[in-house]
Amino acid sequence: MCDVLSLLCHRLFNSPSLPTSFTSFVFPYSLTVHPDKITIATGQVAGTSSDGKFTQKMNILSSFTRPQVVKNVFQNFQNGGSWLCVVDDSNDHILSVWDWQREERLAEVKASSIFAADFHPTDANIIVTCGKSHLYFWSLEKGSLVKKQGLFEKQEKPKFVLCVTFSENGDAITGDSSGNILVWGKGKRIKGLLLLSYFLILAIQGAHEASVFALCMLRNGTLVSGGKDRKLISWDENYQKIQTVEVPELYGPIRTVAEGRGETVLIGTTKNYVLQGSLDGEFIPITQGHTDELWGLTVHPLKHQFLTCGHDKHICLWDSASHQPIWTKTLESAGFHPSGATVAIGTQTGRWLVLDTESKDLVTVHTDGNEQLSVMRFSPDGNFLAIGSHDNYIYIYAVAENGKKYSRVGKCSGHSSFITHLDWSVDSQYLVSNSGDYEILYWIPSVCKQVVSVETTRDIEWATFTCILGFHIFGLWPDGSDGTDINAVCSSNAKKLLITGDDFGKVHLFSFPCSQSRAPSHIYGGHSSHVTNVNFLNDDSQLISTGGKDMSIMQWLGPSATE
């Protein structure tokens, strides 16, 4: 979903920001563009509004609420853009048609599981849906939707009909899980009688070696198909194969195809790449995303770069100006050495490694325990590395040779739950830690000893503020919080601002320090699920946030950049 939003925002609005915000997760297929190429409709799962009320929403710039919908799956405009058809993902799979400008439902009906839906291009009153072993043509008649089934006749029914598009003369074209492309006509004549059913007129058996996920009819009449076999195949008006382009395995199977400007074709893949190219040339990635929840985020101490990692076992170093990855490596938590020359990365199995940020070469590999390493923090002077683990320990390593050599000092023992956050003091002499049971403990890491003296801890100057619990930041917690609402905190490098990421998809901006109860904040929406991590770039010009289920990375202009 993050790739779709990013691509649309840059192509349509020349801006990395969204025209509206969401209160819950936006389902990956629930986005469609109006014929005017400006208006966009999106759907989301059930969530909560600003007043805490339960809602299910369909957003069209200014959103309107449809209480019965659980999850919008497919949406398409028709009738000059006045009508919108929607299929939800409730148990009844409700298909509905809306006059979206009047916020009025024109018709609805229970349907079966549906994978694609679209209005017929030559008849605004017909909606075509496909799904499990079926192709249905729905006629809108006097406030009701009347179903007619496509007749497979002698063609073996596929397990799933996955996608549908249309030829210039109105024939429906489908792709299925058997790798076939089928062409459907309307109105078969038998003994001079016209039957108002839809029948199969052509079958391209084995068009792909696996499921056909995407079909796109280009402006010049060329049909383009993409599938699980990673092949993009073009077909002429007589459905004869023109040529085949195979996408590299790195990018994954083709999930969607769209026509761009001129001869440009855009491809979306199952590994969250968006590729751009032409049918007779090479396809190159124009944007890339993670394929599972993101939790690791760290910024380069000297450059406009940041690094992300997550449950997909991929680590990416990004350029904040171009929004493109500098490099990607297949390997949860991460931390840059103060020199920026190396980065330490923790995994879910207790194994951690250090990479050279320029060459991507592996510097060293270590193992501490057998549970997830949730946080990696280098000391400001670069001489120590602290590793917070889900086994309740903090492992301390001495660092030498500009982040290239590591020797274990020991482990800090005292927490009764897993380690969540760590911060170092400015002089690299002290460490503060948070845990899953909301403890705040202080340490002298060079000897792995806990500090219990309030006289000592109250005067410590901290280099960073990423711990979600502490005396300088307790004002960021709203009334009624259970301790799990806020996932990440980060102070600006100038120590004037504080940002948080929460379970409600929001990024909050506070003044720092934030020690006043019920401290006011600016609230920013964009993520469609929980925000897992936040950070400032090295010069505070931008803020970076990462998402959970939306798997997105968002860049925000810092206050100084917007003044």
pLDDT for residue 6 is more than 80:
no
Residue 213 near residue 175 (C-beta atoms within 8 A): yes
> Rounded mean pLDDT of 442-465?
95
332-463, what's its fold? Methylamine Dehydrogenase; Chain H (2.130.10)
- Pairwise pLDDT comparison (229 vs 152), residue with the higher score: 229
Q: How far apart are CA 86 and CA 232, in angstroms?
A: 28
Angle at 468 between CA 311 and CA 386, to 5 degrees: 65
The domain segmentation of the chain, as residue ranges, is: 1-88, 332-463
Long-range contacts of 345-353 (CB under 8 A, 24+ apart): 345/296, 345/309, 345/315, 345/376, 346/296, 346/372, 346/373, 346/374, 346/375, 346/376, 346/387, 347/372, 347/373, 348/311, 348/372, 348/373, 350/389, 350/391, 352/376, 352/387
Residue 398 near residue 404 (C-beta atoms within 8 A): no
pLDDT, position 78: 57
Residue 160 near residue 177 (C-beta atoms within 8 A): yes
Q: How far apart are CA 353 and CA 308, in angstroms?
A: 15
- Pairwise pLDDT comparison (336 vs 433), residue with the higher score: 433
Q: How far apart are CA 177 and CA 430, in angstroms?
A: 59
Spell out the residues 6+ positions from residue 142 whose beta carbon is closer than 8 angstroms to its own. Answer: none
- Pairwise pLDDT comparison (508 vs 142), residue with the higher score: 508
Residue 436 burial (10 A CB sphere; 0-12, 13-18, 19+): middle
The token duo for 247 is 């996408």
Amino acid at 39: T
Residue 328 burial (10 A CB sphere; 0-12, 13-18, 19+): middle
pLDDT for residue 92 is more than 70:
yes
Q: How far apart are CA 228 and CA 232, in angstroms?
A: 10
pLDDT, position 198: 76
- Pairwise pLDDT comparison (280 vs 163), residue with the higher score: 163
pLDDT for residue 15 is more than 50:
no
The token duo for 185 is 């006509």
pLDDT tens track for 293-326: 888 899 999 999 999 998 888 889 999 998 888 9
The token duo for 246 is 């195979």
- Pairwise pLDDT comparison (72 vs 284), residue with the higher score: 284
pTM: 0.74
pLDDT tens track for 350-393: 999 999 999 889 999 999 999 999 999 999 999 999 999 999 99
Strand pairing class (26-33; 40-44):
antiparallel
pLDDT, position 480: 80
Q: How far apart are CA 402 and CA 383, in angstroms?
A: 9
- For residue 184, give the nearest of 229, 148, 146, 132 by alpha carbon: 148
> Rounded mean pLDDT of 221-235?
97
pLDDT, position 88: 82
pLDDT, position 439: 96
Q: How far apart are CA 494 and CA 512, in angstroms?
A: 10
Strand pairing class (342-346; 351-356):
antiparallel
pLDDT, position 516: 87
pLDDT for residue 3 is more than 60:
no
> Rounded mean pLDDT of 115-141?
90
> Rounded mean pLDDT of 462-488?
91
Q: How far apart are CA 329 and CA 287, in angstroms?
A: 16
15-52: b (≥16 Cβ within 10 Å) or e: eeebbebbbbbbbbbbbbbbeeeebbbbbbbbbeeeee
> Rounded mean pLDDT of 494-512?
95
The token duo for 7 is 């691509």
Q: How far apart are CA 527 and CA 321, in angstroms?
A: 20
Q: Cα–Cα distances in Å, from 337 out to 45, 308, 373, 468?
A: 40, 15, 17, 22
pLDDT tens track for 171-202: 999 999 999 999 998 765 455 444 556 789 99
pLDDT for residue 333 is more than 80:
no
pLDDT for residue 404 is more than 80:
yes
Spell out the residues 6+ positions from residue 14 whose beta carbon is closer than 8 angstroms to its own. Answer: none
Q: What is the SS3 assignment for 275?
A: strand
User: In which band, very low, low, confident or very high, does the pLDDT at 268 lie, cut at 50, 70 and 90?
Assistant: very high
- Pairwise pLDDT comparison (516 vs 398), residue with the higher score: 398
pLDDT for residue 46 is more than 70:
no
Spell out the residues 6+ positions from residue 238 whose beta carbon is closer than 8 angstroms to its own. Answer: none
The token duo for 100 is 């979206």
pLDDT, position 84: 87
pLDDT for residue 11 is more than 50:
no
